[in-house]
Amino acid sequence: MNDSPLRVGTWLSVGSPVVAELAAECGFDWVLLDLEHGCDSEAVLPSQLRALRGFETRSIVRVAGLNPDLIGRVLDWGAQGIMVPHVNTVHDAFQVLRAAQYPPKGRRGYSSTVRAYGYGLRPPGEHPAAPMVIAQIESLEGVEHAYEIAAVAGIDALFVGPSDLKFDLKAHHSARTYDECLQKVATAALDHKKPCGILVRTAEDIAKVKALGYTWLAIDSDLALLRDGFVRNVAAAKL
């Protein structure tokens, strides 16, 4: 059994600060601001982060990949954590940490005047707090190395990307099933006393992944909720 507390979040892809603020008002523990498959550029991110200010909702930004410059900017703008897609090996995990952490552990550039430190009014001191770093497991290779990735100090959680993982398993004609992969990632996280998470689309999926030990749950997305609501209303009106 996973002793990590349940953290309920949602996926924000539209890029709207209003939607981010609404999600926080509704009581989500965290939100994922998506720069990989989201609808807007990184230019909208600071406004979304400002909309979350004053709430207990944690801001996690998914960058598009292992881009040290973008990771540094996202954290300077005040993101409380990052999620990096396609972390397939221990080497990938260490590269992520090098980008997210200051020397001597990493290579992130330092400035005391960025938004994360109140534009110079709240300097972090001699030892700035490390951001939360979530490694996304989205391939068979990532699943096979999940145990070693979870063991890396500084990787705070594993997070399954279900769409990419299912696609990768099918593309490689894998004998390992999707459910087996979910269990393997959960076991890797549990054995290293770290949370694991996943994006779920329906209420029926919640009980299943919770039973496996998943405690960071992203439930649906702003884009999907808008789409489904629009389709439902149009269909109802045209009956």
Which positions are annotated as active-site residues?
Answer: 37
For every residue of 115-173, DSSP letters joined together read GGGGGGTS---SSPPPPEEEEEE-SHHHHHTHHHHHTSTT--EEEE-HHHHHHHHHHTT
For every residue of 7-43, DSSP letters joined together read EEEEEE-S--HHHHHHHHHTT-SEEEEESSS-SS-GG
Residue 89 · residue 141 · CB < 8 Å: yes
And the tokens for 14?
Answer: 């539209």
How many angstroms separate the CA atoms of 54 and 172, rounded?
A: 46
